Amino acid sequence: MSRFRYTRCSSTLLNATAMMKRLSPTFVPPLARAALVALVLAGLSSAPALDAAAADNNAAARELRVGFVPGPYAEEFKAGVEPQLRRKGYTVRYVEFSTGLEANQAVYRGDIVADVMQHEVYLKSYNDRNGTDLVGVVQVPTPPMGLYSTRHRSLAEVKPGARVAVPNDPVNLERALKILQRIGWIKIRPNPNPVDVTEHDVIANPAGIKIVPLESAQAPRALEDVDYAAIQGNFAIFSGHKLTDALALEQMTPPYINQVVVKATNRDARQTRDIVEAYQSAEFQRAIRGNHFYDGFRLPAYFGNE
């Protein structure tokens, strides 16, 4: 007998016994007493199904399906967020996606409660293109984009005609071009809207490099075929590259720090608030600061200035 059935049965039997004791045989005919017993037994037979269904619904409500793409964000979640959620009675299910588009679609459809893989600028671009209403609720420690090479040991080795891989989506292309501009290889025209940036915004190329747009996830594998590659931090780490291996790192600003994203209707849901609270906790901060793997990550404002 399950715990739910035992509790319900015990309560019902105790109430029925007390009732029978209070009723005198003078006032309760045998047939009436038999009817009362039948009602009690009927209640016992129906109670377990109701309680079991309630238990199943409660278990489903306490399961959190969270989406991730390759990178360090699932590990961050496991290290400092999941332990707190488990203590609150949640079960966490990790759902892996190969692209951010797939992860966002799953959030919008309600297949997962949240994803962790994108910054504010990318999210706005996604919502504008797809007519969706996803929202960021809390930023997470994020590795910056870096310029890597397996052929060259320094930036000084660049020569005219050097092939440099960059992300082919406008938002992350702008980040890569800013790295190349900061190290003096190119100059780009000012553009207030990152989603409009293309390689044609390069207005000077004193290093004589050849820019090669690629899908972001392909950049680490392209290192053998190009001279340099601008690789997003999550893909670099997933591929075994350290931030300290980068020949140049972007100067990451807040709009490009990644965040937890949910559907707008779930912004104030209890489960969302619990996730946000776990990220902003001292426990999560200790887990990140205490692991040198996260050295060089851009930390959200709630980490303070220490």
Over residues 53-69, the mean pLDDT reads 72
Q: Give the mean pLDDT of 159-188.
A: 95
Task: State in Å, rounded, how far the first CA of the chain is from the last one.
Answer: 55
pLDDT at site 14: 38
Averaged confidence pLDDT in the chain: 84
User: In sequence order, what are the residues at sequence separation of 6 or more whose Cβ sits closer than 8 angstroms to the Cβ of residue 265?
Assistant: 133
pLDDT for 291? 94
Q: pLDDT value at position 4?
A: 37
- 68/71 Cα distance (integer angstroms): 8
> What token pair was written down for 297?
């990550």
Write out pLDDT tens, residues 205-222.
999 999 999 998 899 999
Token pair, residue 265, equals 């209707």
Can you give the pLDDT at residue 70? 87
What is the pLDDT, as a whole number, of residue 60? 57
- What value does the mean pLDDT take over residues 261-281? 98
Which residue reads 């005919």 in tokens? 29
pLDDT greater at residue 178 or residue 54: 178
Contacts of residue 211, defined as CB under 8 A and 6 or more positions apart, other chains included, come to 164, 166, 199, 202
What confidence category does residue 58 fall into, taking pLDDT thresholds of 50, 70 and 90?
low
Q: What is the pLDDT of residue 23?
A: 40
Decide if pLDDT at 48 tops 80. no
**Domains of the chain and CATH, by start:** 3-59 (no CATH), 62-142+256-303 (3.40.190.10), 146-251 (3.40.190.10)
| Segment 62-105, tens digit of pLDDT | 899 999 998 899 999 999 999 999 999 999 999 999 889 999 99
Lowest-confidence pick of 54-58, 221-225, 235-239: 54-58
pLDDT tens digits along 130-156: 999 999 999 999 999 999 999 999 999
Percent of the chain with pLDDT over 70: 79
Contact call for residues 176 and 194 (beta carbons, < 8 A): no
The CA-CA-CA angle for residues 96, 279, 242, to 5°, reads: 60
When computed from its CA atoms, the radius of gyration of the chain, rounded to whole angstroms, is 29
Whether the pLDDT of residue 306 is over 80: the answer is: no
pLDDT at 158: 97
**pLDDT at res. 37:** 43
Average pLDDT in the 223-250 region?
Answer: 94
